[in-house]
Amino acid sequence: MNQSLKLPSWSMWAIGFAAILFLIMCVITIRRNHGVKRSFFAMPYTLWMFIFTIVPIVLIGWYAFTDSATGTFTLNNFINFWDSNYTVNKMYEQMGPEYAVLITRGTVNIDILVYSLWMALGCTVICLLLGYPAALFMADKDIKLGSTIIVLFIIPMWMNFLLRTIAWMSLLEDQGLINSMLRFFGMDGVKLMYNDGAVLLGMVYNFLPFMVFPIYTTLNKMDGKLMEAAQDLGCNEIRTFLKVTLPLSLPGVISGITMVFMPSVTTFFISRILGGGHTMMFGDLIESMFLSANDWGVGSALSLVMMLLILISLGILRKADPEGEGGSIA
C-alpha cells in the first residue's frame, strides 16, 4: 500500500455520522415500537452495509475522479485507462517537438480488457455447454443419482478457492500426474501449464457450479405436467425440450451466465497460478495498479469500468428474469 496515500477527511466523518445515525435510529425504533421487535435486529446489517459497502464504493469514485497529488477533479485516470502511455506522452510533449515522434497511444489496458472478455466468454460458453446437461440430468425425477451428483458439485466448493486452483498444478505441471501417466505409457509429455488453456481450464472448473445450480433450480421448480401436456399434444422429446423446457429455463440460464461471466472477467489468481505470469486478466491489472504501481487513481478508474460492466450484466439479467426466478444457486 502506498504509505503517502491518505483517506480523505470526509470518509472518517461519514463513518462517524453513520454510527451516530445508527444509534439515533435504534432509539427511535425502540420507542416507536415500545420495545425491541424482530425487525430491529436487521439494523446492524444496515450499518455494516453502509460502512463496508457504500463508503468503499464512494472512495473508489473519489480516487477515480481526483488527482492523487492535488486532490482536484480530473479525468486523467480514465484517460490513462484508454491510453496506457498517457503519462509518458505528456513528458514527451514537455520535452519539445523533437520528441513528438515518440508519442504513441498505448493499448495495453484495452487489450487486457478485450482478452479478459474473450476468456470470460469462452469460460461462460463452456460452462453452459457442460452445465445445462448436468442440471437437466440432476433435475430429472426418474434418475435416482441426481441428489448424489448435487453433492459431488457441492463438496469441492467446501474447499478454499485458492487451494482448488493450486491443486490443479499437481495435475498439469511438467512433472505432474497427467504427464507422468503419459510417460508411463511411452508417450511424450505435453505442455499443460502456463498457457491460455490452463487458465481457461481453471476458470471452468471453479465457476462451473455457478452455472449448474441456477439452471438446476429453475428446472427443479418447473411443473412436470407441462412436459406431459406437450407430449400428449404430439410433441416428441426433442420438440418438448425446445418448445417447453428450454424457454422456461432461460431465467436460470441468464442467471448462470451472469454469475459465471463477471467473476471470470475479474479473476486474477487463476491466471497468475496456472498462467505463470504469461497471461494477465483485467483483475490482475487492477491489482497491480493498487499494490505494485501504487496508482490508486487509475486502479479506481479501472474498478469503475469493471463495475459498469457488472451493472450492464445485472441490467440484462433484470430484463431476462424480472422475477428473479433463476437467481438462486441452492
pLDDT in tens, the chain (330 residues): 444 556 677 777 777 777 787 777 777 777 777 666 666 666 777 777 777 888 888 889 999 998 877 778 889 899 998 888 887 878 877 787 777 777 787 888 899 999 999 999 999 999 999 999 999 888 887 777 777 788 888 888 888 888 888 888 888 888 888 888 888 888 887 888 888 899 999 999 999 999 999 999 988 888 777 777 877 777 787 888 888 888 888 888 988 988 898 888 888 888 888 887 777 888 888 988 888 888 888 999 999 998 888 888 777 767 766 665 544 444
The type of residue at 38 is: R
Torsional sign, CA 215, 220, 223, 224: positive
Q: In the CATH hierarchy, which top-level class contains the domain 108-320?
A: mainly alpha
Q: Do 60 and 300 meet the contact criterion of CB atoms below 8 Å apart?
A: yes
- How confident is the model at residue 207, as a pLDDT? 93
H or E segment to which residue 114 belongs: helix 108-139
What is the domain partition of the chain in residue ranges? 6-64, 66-106, 108-320
Global pTM value: 0.81
- How confident is the model at residue 86, as a pLDDT? 82
In 3D, which of 108, 121, 118 has the Cα closest to residue 298? Answer: 108
- How confident is the model at residue 122, as a pLDDT? 95
- For 20-40, give one letter per residue: b (16+ CB within 10 A) or e: eebeeeeeeeeeeeeeeeeee
d(CA 162, CA 158): 12
CA-based radius of gyration for the chain: 25
- How confident is the model at residue 330, as a pLDDT? 40
H or E segment to which residue 143 belongs: none
In 3D, which of 317, 207, 205 has the Cα closest to residue 265? Answer: 207
